[in-house]
Chain A
């Protein structure tokens, strides 16, 4: 504002502020590139091969789909703790329908997606009509699903899955597996949904301030319902792809997506933004964890290090952002 010479003396302070602002907005990005640099330095010969990079994308595809769906619910301000169990259920049911009931692949997939849609609607009903917090509602529904998984799995036949189903996850186009394309398509679709549609804008409004959204004429409950439905559907898609990838549907196979989905979304919330969920961020979060796991594998670290690193990354990136913002605001 003032063009006095005195303002020159303040420049160093300003510069420190800018640095802190950058740290707070780009916490995850900084961590991401640091990691790439470290692995490139340690084993650049292996890390930068196309086979390895495709591997990173392949590992990230399913979790990316689940995490992006979860992000939509998080943007509306709702938690969805049922995603892991929905993914497990989708795997158990889709494989069961085909092996036990002999239902053709596309029909089995459609039935499973319909079930997931139904679960999303139930979550949404409990949250919007009964007014139970989404934390409790999705925890309860998810726990019930665990029970269903075991009941249905117990009667699973031992017939093996058809190669046609397995090929969903194994087919490659231009050397890249189908789930990667699918993840990219879903990510793009959800990005368009959030940023370019009226419902998506309303979702952001509800997440930012539900009371203001209500008074601005947004149908808050409907938006919350949509968020939980999208989250459940994406979890289901992830579960189906997982069962095709590993060739079976175990009752707990998708449970891990709960924690890694949340980790990716929270990592992403500090990429380019100050602690705000968004689709691009979540994708970056997925890739960050993916690169970390890949790097650990290349250096030959034991698998338990994956958990340590995933948790550590989350705290480092979000912590860097939080501390940076706090200092910058002083």
Chain B
């Protein structure tokens, strides 16, 4: 096993990716994990994991969902207590028994749930819990706020601190949360999937901030499924599989293929999916003409044909999700018409959409898709329950239902294949398979997928793409929304949305990342930084 780094040595040499003043030559790691073990029930989540994070570097963690990255970070956060092994801070062993301990040691954690107070503005969120009594009995808000402004200025955050957090974009919320952890003099900051909901431009801005943090000597742990970010940002990347460290890559070794090999243990070539040949699609199944929702979507027209996967490209906020939700009846439209098999149809609610043979895999898997505490079988069976005939129509036939759920679960390759296990206990990829599988329980004509592989590891992602292709080949019409242009390359046709309008349609050889990017940024003129960013 390639595990070792008790005395890992920071290699010197050119440092083009990240400028930092971490000492060259041997140094004590900022944080060092040593032979960490952790079991949840029968599952060994961490199996003797050792790794070292150095000050002034970005250390990436990669691996499939459930490989152990999150558990390791939760050990550091004091949220999970390791069964064995130790954590050292600058060579000193530390005991982390609660999140407060982690906080006191200067560890900060930024993940999808940012825990900000929505009604408070940026300043209040940053100073929350830090405001002390001044000379009077009243809280000395001013000095805390002064410090907050200083922090924001030092790190160069582009942020309106007076606006309530609920009015800020997702990217800005990340910055507020980051600012808050810097108020507490963080020495190590762990980012968990920070860019999952960010546009390319926002991602670049966040990278700038991370680079400045590192330049100030802060250690960064960085978890992401987007491998190109790892190439751009990380000094070291550690690959996890089944709770073990399977690869430690340094700078030049951090390549896409090396990372894929680490995550899947297999050959990166096997992960591309063959596209169907151009042209031969069936009749339009679902057609929208002039679909409008004020201020969000303006006169969108598109048709989905049997056997075709249509991709929707666009920036965050361009109206892509809203379009899908309108097609599905989840949001009301202010105008426009829908046709199913050429017949006008009114879809007023998701239940009407379901009866018409339309399904939606929503953007927010956990909040909008899953019943986390309910079993896999429940999650699969909720939309198209297996019922009796005649008078027994309202009653469930549990045995038949279980059989059908099992056959769908096998079809979507659910792992583990345990239908009584609560949805919460499945990995992100398998949770998504449950949401997808739910629609395969009925006779579906149209499937709309909104960011179907966000936050999902590359193995499960490929499985989902392959499944989508199989469904298309079976005659289904599919629509996929994705913020990752690379993912959209799998589609047969692309529509691009800019500020609520469908501005361009790409087919065949025109489907390239560059064309999509250019169209998404709304214009023929070459989009400067973002474009180059993506090509790297």
A interface list, Cβ under 8 A from B: 1-2, 6-7, 9-10, 13-14, 17, 196-199, 201-202, 204-205, 208-209, 211-219, 274, 276, 330
A217 to B442, CA, bound (A): 12
Q: Give which listed residue, A209, A214, A274, contacts B350 with CB less than 8 A.
A: A214
Whether B374 sits at the interface, judged by CB under 8 Å, is yes
A213 to B349, CA, bound (A): 12
A211 to B330, CA, bound (A): 10
Q: Give which listed residue, A199, A201, A276, A330, contacts B382 with CB less than 8 A.
A: A201
Asked if B369 and A208 sit within 8 Å, CB to CB, the answer is no
Chain A: minimal CB distance from B483 (Å): 20
Asked if A218 and B351 sit within 8 Å, CB to CB, the answer is yes
Whether B72 sits at the interface, judged by CB under 8 Å, is no
A9 to B48, CA, bound (A): 14
Segment touching A, from B156-164, B393-401, B505-513: B393-401
Asked if B39 and A14 sit within 8 Å, CB to CB, the answer is yes
In the complex, per-residue mask of B344-386: 1 if CB is within 8 Å of any chain A CB, else 0: 0000011101110000101000011111111000100111010
A57 to B362, CA, bound (A): 48
B interface list, Cβ under 8 A from A: 37, 39, 41-44, 47, 79-81, 83-84, 242-243, 328, 330, 349-351, 353-355, 360, 362, 367-374, 378, 381-383, 385, 387, 394-396, 398, 438
Most buried by B among A7, A198, A219: A198
Asked if B349 and A205 sit within 8 Å, CB to CB, the answer is no
Most buried by A among B39, B43, B81: B39
A64 to B370, CA, bound (A): 32
A6 to B85, CA, bound (A): 13
A17 to B367, CA, bound (A): 29
Q: Give which listed residue, A7, A196, A212, contacts B371 with CB less than 8 A.
A: A212
Chain B: minimal CB distance from A175 (Å): 34
Q: Which residues of A contact B44 (CB under 8 A)?
A: 1-2, 7
A318 to B494, CA, bound (A): 53
Asked if A215 and B349 sit within 8 Å, CB to CB, the answer is no
A202 to B396, CA, bound (A): 11
Asked if A204 and B378 sit within 8 Å, CB to CB, the answer is yes
Asked if A209 and B385 sit within 8 Å, CB to CB, the answer is no
A134 to B360, CA, bound (A): 29
Q: Which residues of A contact B373 (CB under 8 A)?
A: 208, 274, 276
Could you pull out 25 A-B pairs where Cβ atoms are within 8 angstroms? A1-B43, A1-B44, A1-B243, A7-B39, A10-B37, A10-B39, A17-B41, A197-B396, A198-B385, A198-B395, A201-B381, A204-B378, A205-B374, A209-B370, A211-B368, A212-B367, A212-B371, A213-B382, A215-B328, A215-B368, A216-B354, A216-B383, A217-B349, A330-B79, A330-B81
Asked if A10 and B83 sit within 8 Å, CB to CB, the answer is yes
A213 to B37, CA, bound (A): 38
A208 to B366, CA, bound (A): 12
Asked if A198 and B396 sit within 8 Å, CB to CB, the answer is yes
Asked if B368 and A217 sit within 8 Å, CB to CB, the answer is no
Q: Which residues of B contact A2 (CB under 8 A)?
A: 44, 47
Asked if A214 and B330 sit within 8 Å, CB to CB, the answer is yes
Q: Which residues of A contact B242 (CB under 8 A)?
A: 1
Asked if A197 and B362 sit within 8 Å, CB to CB, the answer is no
Asked if B395 and A196 sit within 8 Å, CB to CB, the answer is yes
A1 to B395, CA, bound (A): 39
A168 to B82, CA, bound (A): 61
Q: Which residues of B contact A14 (CB under 8 A)?
A: 39, 41
A13 to B84, CA, bound (A): 11
Q: Which residues of B contact A196 (CB under 8 A)?
A: 395-396, 398
Asked if B360 and A209 sit within 8 Å, CB to CB, the answer is no
Q: Which residues of B contact A217 (CB under 8 A)?
A: 349-351, 353-355, 383
Asked if A212 and B369 sit within 8 Å, CB to CB, the answer is yes
Residue of A nearest to B39 (CB): A10
Residue of A nearest to B45 (CB): A1
A204 to B367, CA, bound (A): 16
Asked if B382 and A197 sit within 8 Å, CB to CB, the answer is no
Q: Which residues of B contact A1 (CB under 8 A)?
A: 42-44, 242-243
Known: A204-B374, A217-B383. A13 touches B398 (CB 8 A): no
Known: A10-B83, A17-B41, A209-B372. A215 touches B395 (CB 8 A): no
Q: Which residues of B contact A9 (CB under 8 A)?
A: 84
Residue of B nearest to A205 (CB): B382
Asked if B39 and A216 sit within 8 Å, CB to CB, the answer is no
Q: Give which listed residue, A198, A199, A209, A219, contacts B367 with CB less than 8 A.
A: A209
A199 to B385, CA, bound (A): 10
Known: A2-B47, A13-B83, A198-B387. A216 touches B382 (CB 8 A): yes
Chain B: minimal CB distance from A116 (Å): 23
A97 to B43, CA, bound (A): 64
Chain A: minimal CB distance from B366 (Å): 9
Asked if B374 and A208 sit within 8 Å, CB to CB, the answer is yes
Asked if A215 and B369 sit within 8 Å, CB to CB, the answer is yes
Q: Which residues of A contact B39 (CB under 8 A)?
A: 7, 10, 13-14
Known: A7-B44, A215-B362, A218-B351. A201 touches B367 (CB 8 A): no
Residue of A nearest to B38 (CB): A10
Q: Which residues of B contact A211 (CB under 8 A)?
A: 367-368
Residue of B nearest to A21 (CB): B41
Chain A: minimal CB distance from B518 (Å): 33
Asked if B350 and A216 sit within 8 Å, CB to CB, the answer is yes
Query: Which 10 A-B residue pairs are closest in the complex by CB-CB distance?
Result: A217-B354, A208-B371, A217-B351, A1-B44, A216-B383, A217-B350, A217-B383, A198-B385, A205-B382, A216-B382
